Amino acid sequence: MTNFEKLGIDKMQKNNFNASKREFLKKCVAFSGGILCFGPSSFLAGNAEDYQGIYRREAMFQQETPRGIMCLICPNECILKEGELSQCNNRKVYKSKLYTLAYGNPCSVNIDPIEKKPLYHFYPGSRAYSIATAGCNFACLNCQNWSISQTSPDKTRNYNLMPEKVVADCIDKGCKTIAYTYSEPVSFYEYVFETAVLAKKAGIKNIVKSNGYIKKEPLEKWCSVLDAANIDLKSFNDNTYMRLTGGKLQPVLDSLLIYKDLGIWLEITYLIVPAWTDKLDEIRKMCKWMNDNGLSKTPIHFSRFYPTYKLEQLPPTPVETLNKAVQIAKDEGLIYCYTGNVPGNEFSDTYCPGCKKVLIARQGYRITAFNLKDGKCPDCGKSVDGVWD
């Protein structure tokens, strides 16, 4: 079966599809270091209105109220009047309907090692076709991608990349997965969902790198086409969550359990920010919550903070703090515990949960040794949780 048959595209559509794909690929002027670089003509202009109109896709999950149109994608539940912009910067009311401004217009397109997400137990060593649009439903003080997350799609330089082209180019580049990442996939929900539907038909896996700030119904619909997720758990203190991100803790915890219950491969990242999220008693409380809620086999990545955005005055996270967090996690019964943003640290490797043999050795995003056999330790035969080739 061809890729076009997998996508359900008939002969006439296929010819048009091939033509548009050739045009798309002609505009690729470079491919090196895992980054796709496009010629200027492949970009949408700075304002999305220059391409088929800014209101090209009506938003999913909306409800009319006496105060305006309510967006029901995330717990922010923005209520917007005509012409008003949502907190995530990419939803707007037009003629009494809510529209997404983030559809087919990503501002970032790269090919990454899947370890960058980070996903350590999901097809390790594979490449992810990674896309993002502008916008985010959080306002994190420490955001490393603030230049795209804290603005709207009509203010970024965007690619003309509709869902069909994303899938076609992913296939062409030999990537196993499409990753919706960099900013916040929840804020470009419709683009993610409709691309993921086509990708799934083509046998491509779909992964999100997300803050987990999404309501139950849209998340359950999402999970019907997703395969894996890495969720940023920003803190385990509700007051800190609000001051650091503008969001609340409980909806994220609820999302983690939904991902688990629906069988999506899940990994969690906890960024340790000095003076904000480095309290060891809170880290212990979080790890205990994970164990108590059936997440003991969910890999957790304790990531090192580097000064950025509105927290430039802070120092980087001491490596000693990261190592203490890993030890706390292990003491609380978590099995797969890692440090991130610390190349060469011993806790970047995957160990057998039985005999403690190094099964996957890593240097940064690069795998230097892979000793798993059929998902098991070759020495003791212990199974290692994950999704392996």
Q: Is the dihedral of CA 22, 9, 184, 282 positive or negative?
A: negative
Strand pairing report for 35-38 and 43-44: unpaired
The pair of three-digit structure tokens given for residue 355, joined into one six-digit string: 């005999």
pLDDT digits (tens, 9 = 90+) for 273-325: 999 999 999 999 999 999 999 999 999 999 999 999 999 999 999 999 999 99
The total of other beta-carbon atoms located within 10 Å of residue 121's CB is: 21
Residue 127 forms beta bridges with which residues? 113
What's the half-sphere exposure (Cβ side, CA atoms, 13 Å) at 362? 27
Note the pLDDT tens digit of each residue in 269-279.
999 999 999 99
Q: CB-side exposure of 137: number of CA atoms within 13 Å? A: 25
Q: Count other Cβ atoms within 10 Å, centred on residue 67.
A: 9
Residues 325/304, Cβ–Cβ less than 8 Å = no
| Axis-axis angle for helices 280-292, 319-331 (nearest 10) | 30
What pLDDT shows up at residue 170? 98
Q: Pairing relation of β-strands 127-132 and 97-100?
A: unpaired
CATH of 108-370, picked from 3.20.20.70, 3.40.1190.20, 2.60.40.10, 3.40.50.150, is 3.20.20.70
Maximum distance among all alpha carbons in the chain? Answer: 65
Q: Would the pLDDT of 47 be above 90?
A: no
Give the pLDDT confidence of 173-205 residue by residue, as tens digits. Answer: 999 999 999 999 999 999 999 999 999 999 999
> What residues does 91 pair with on adjacent strands?
100
Q: Are strands 300-304 and 91-94 parallel, antiparallel or unpaired?
A: unpaired
Burial of residue 66, with CB atoms counted within 10 A of its CB: 0-12 exposed, 13-18 middle, 19 or more buried: exposed
Instruction: Please give the average per-residue pLDDT across 82-91, as a whole number.
Output: 96
Output Rg (C-alpha) for the chain, integer angstroms.
21
pLDDT higher than threshold 90 for residue 331 = yes
Give backbone dihedrals phi and psi of 367, rounded to 5 degrees, phi first. -85, 125
Q: What is the pTM of this model?
A: 0.87
DSSP string, 34-82: TEEEE-GGGEEPSSGGGTT-S--EEPSSEEEETTEEEE-SSTT--EE-B
155: three-class secondary structure by DSSP: helix
- Report yes or no: 170 and 204 within 8 Å, Cβ to Cβ: yes
- Residue 43 is predicted with a pLDDT of 52
Report whether pLDDT(132) > 90.
yes
- DSSP state letter for 153: G
Please state, for a pLDDT cut of 90, what percent of the chain lies above it: 84
Residue 230 Rama label (left phi>0; alpha psi -120 to 50; beta):
beta
Instruction: Give the CA distances from residue 386 to residues 73, 90, 125, 228, 316, in Å, rounded to whole numbers and listed in that order.
Output: 29, 35, 13, 10, 31
DSSP assignment string, 77-121: --EE-BTPBPTTSSEEEETTEEEES-SS--SEEEEEEGGGTT-SS
Query: What are the beta bridge partners of residue 363?
Result: 366
Please compute the mean of the pLDDT values over residues 342-358 and round it to a whole number. Answer: 93
Contacts of 335 by beta carbon, 8 Å cutoff, 6+ apart: 296, 297, 353, 385
**All structural domains of the chain with their residue ranges:** 47-100, 108-370
Q: Mean pLDDT, to the nearest integer, of 79-88? A: 96
Q: How confident is the model at residue 53 (pLDDT cuts 50, 70, 90)?
A: low
Predicted confidence at residue 31, as pLDDT, reads 31
Please provide the average confidence, as pLDDT, over all residues in the chain. Answer: 89
- In whole angstroms, give the CA distance from residue 235 to residue 140: 12
Residue 256 tokens, joined: 């983690």
